[in-house]
Structure 1
Amino acid sequence: MNDFYPIGMKGQKWGQKEKAEWLAQVSVQRSYQEEVVSKIIALADRFLVDQYGLLQYGDKSFPLYVLKTMEWDPSKPTVLITGGVHGYETSGVQGALLFLETEAHRYQNSFNLLAIPCVSPWGYEVINRWNALALDPNRSFYPDSPAPESANLLKLVDKYNQSILVHFDLHETTDSDESEFRRALAAREGEEYIPGEIPDGFYTVGDTDNPQSEFQKAVIQSVGRVTHIAEADSKGEIIGSPLEQKGVINYPMKKLGLCGGITNSQYSTTTEVYPDSVKVTDDDCNKAQVAAIIGGLDYVVDRMINNELS
């Protein structure tokens, strides 16, 4: 057996037996219907609510919802907001909903809004990074994706891709990333588990191929008024990537199959809230996600006003 995870044999990738064993130890811990869908339906007086897909795992189905600007104007650029790609990252879901409820009206003169608050509802209910197939949706955004969460979102976004100017993908980095999910990943892949370090604070992940450093800086400055920003570790890194500026690292989004790479938007950021800090509450985490969107959109609006968009 692995000495770091209770499922699988050391040095061997999981087969169907191990995946079934993993799935059997997952349990429902909260309600997508009560905590997410009810809030989406409550916004139906302000946004057009559509079902863009349906997940089916066993005997349970999960409708997938998108909220759109009610008076859609093709002449305006589109802002895409995605949350809950990893269902266990709670503030990604609740932060997106809080923005739609409290702040979205401020930006509807400038943009069309397209929001998917919970991409992975099964993961939300069982508080897990993976889907029921033991796949990570946020490594599965590529053609013919085996993850239905990713495939459904790709199909939806493809209809709007040409108009999407800005994309916010709302995430968290949790202590359970290290205590559970990275261990599970190493076991699934038959690899050695190498311990990492969870940063204490908020950070963003930009796109290596389109970093937009001033946009990322505006997001960080806005969030810094709500919660603390992560510092680099002793190697000058955050989760193994070099720090580009305060609170910012970059990933090759499209190459890694990440949600942050599903559009050709000029501006894109993946937010990473740290909910396990003793310095924050759940409410602080949700507000940090809202602040990230506000900071980014205010930056883009200023550039639009000054005719500085390329």
Structure 2
Amino acid sequence: MQPFIYHIGTQGQPWGEAEKQQWLAEQRIKRSYQSDVLSQLSELESQFEVVQYGELDYQAQGFSRYPLFLLKSRNWQADKPLALITGGVHGYETSGVHGALRFAKDHAAAYVADFNLLIAPCISPWGYETINRWNPLAVDPNRSFVANSPAAEAGLLRDYVLALDVTPLVHIDLHETTDSDNSEFRPAKAARDGTVNTNWNIPDGFYLVGDSENPQPDFQKAMIDEVVKVTHIAPADEQGCLIGEPLAQFGVVNYPKKSLGLCGGMTDARFVTTTEVYPDSPSATPEQCILAQVAAVVGGLNYVREQLSAKSA
């Protein structure tokens, strides 16, 4: 099968500035960060301190400024463990953004007695508005959670979290795997990098990506068990894989999060996972996708709370 050849660039040659500018010129605003995300933050001010941790200035690229906000528990106490929930690292992955907000709105109150909560619902607002994986510089934020980050989206949040000088006990990062990963984003990445793209089979259903250096299988299972109440779990393909990775357990594959610069690897949290919802499934509605994200967070926090309770008993 011939690899999909992207329409920008020359096959085998990495993009230069001209190709990046050609790609950027094709991007259009398709929805509103202000209307869809920021408008909801005021409704949460009774439960959370709404903290601006930075701003993205993309005026030079022909767009605008994007203030970056997170939600921080009002009853923050030094003796409570920190649970970090992140969404919208890839702005086009819609249910991650709205799953984080829905958890904050409908479920967070059940956990603030046991955890300090930090929720960053939309890390890449330009990507949210233009339905993109990258930022305007053609950089993937979810390979950029490293020191001296090449993506401000990643660097600003990483700097804020590390400055707290508190290692989260839990970090759940909310993502999607979409059909556009094969039709647009993976071919674009191969073109940008001057490599050959080979598409993978898009899993039909929900799955998790644990940390291969710290897999925590019981934690992953607790989330899968909660999500299955809402939507279906992705089966492995004919090779026993999901997205090209061997299945570690039902509904779970593992990646080396730190070495890849993934959001889930930016701290030394003990319990870490990345959710992956499939919004293009004929068996899942947009609302189910949001509820699956919420269920994963609920399942994960319930598991950790039970572990803490058993340890203190």
Which bin holds the TM-score, normalised by the shorter protein?
over 0.9
The gaps in structure 1 that reach 5 residues or longer are none
Equivalents in 1 of 2:229, 2:69: separation in Å?
31
Question: What's the % identity of the aligned pairs?
Answer: 55
Q: Secondary structure at the match of 1:164?
A: coil
Name the residue aligned to 2:9: 8
Name the residue aligned to 1:122: 126
The gaps in structure 2 that reach 5 residues or longer are none
Compute the TM-score of the two structures, normalised by the length of structure 1: 0.97
Equivalents in 2 of 1:46, 1:296: separation in Å?
21
Does the aligned pair in 2 maintain the 1:162–1:264 contact within 8 Å?
Answer: no
Equivalents in 2 of 1:193, 1:163: separation in Å?
37
Note the alpha carbon deviations across 1:124-166, whole angstroms, 9 max, x for none. Answer: 0000000000000000111101101011011111023534100
Name the residue aligned to 1:27: 28
Name the residue aligned to 1:283: 287
Note the alpha carbon deviations across 1:79-131, whole angstroms, 9 max, x for none. Answer: 00000000000000000000000000001110010010000000000000000
Q: 1:261 aligns with which of 259, 262, 265?
A: 265
Note the alpha carbon deviations across 1:148-199, whole angstroms, 9 max, x for none. Answer: 1011011111023534100010000000000000000010011112121100
Name the residue aligned to 1:164: 168
Does the aligned pair in 2 maintain the 1:167–1:269 contact within 8 Å?
Answer: yes
Does the aligned pair in 1 maintain the 2:86–2:172 contact within 8 Å?
Answer: yes
Equivalents in 2 of 1:120, 1:176: separation in Å?
18
RMSD over aligned Cα atoms: 1.2
Name the residue aligned to 2:47: 46
Does the aligned pair in 1 maintain the 2:4–2:197 contact within 8 Å?
Answer: no
Equivalents in 2 of 1:40, 1:82: separation in Å?
15
Are positions 1:70 and 2:74 aligned together?
yes
Does the aligned pair in 1 maintain the 2:5–2:11 contact within 8 Å?
Answer: no
Does the aligned pair in 2 maintain the 1:161–1:263 contact within 8 Å?
Answer: no
Shift of 1:207: 0.4
Name the residue aligned to 1:231: 235
Name the residue aligned to 2:105: 101
Equivalents in 2 of 1:254, 1:163: separation in Å?
15
Q: Secondary structure at the match of 2:169?
A: strand
Does the aligned pair in 2 maintain the 1:165–1:265 contact within 8 Å?
Answer: yes
Note the alpha carbon deviations across 1:188-227, whole angstroms, 9 max, x for none. Answer: 0111121211000000000011000000000101000000
Are positions 1:206 and 2:218 aligned together?
no
Shift of 1:308: 7.3
Q: Secondary structure at the match of 1:54?
A: strand
Are positions 1:145 and 2:145 aligned together?
no
Does the aligned pair in 2 maintain the 1:98–1:290 contact within 8 Å?
Answer: yes
Equivalents in 2 of 1:201, 1:308: separation in Å?
37
Q: Secondary structure at the match of 1:179?
A: helix
Within 5 Å, give how 1:209-224 maps onto structure 2: 209-224=213-228
4+ runs deviating over 6 angstroms: none
Are positions 1:179 and 2:178 aligned together?
no
Note the alpha carbon deviations across 1:25-78, whole angstroms, 9 max, x for none. Answer: 010000000000001122112110010000011251000001000111111001
Q: 1:271 aligns with which of 259, 275, 285?
A: 275
Q: 1:244 aligns with which of 248, 257, 262?
A: 248
Does the aligned pair in 1 maintain the 2:168–2:268 contact within 8 Å?
Answer: yes
Decide whether aligned partners of structure 1 residues 120 and 108 sit closer, same or farther in structure 2, where only a CA change above 3 A counts. Answer: same
Task: Return 193-202 or 111-120, whichever deviates more.
Answer: 193-202
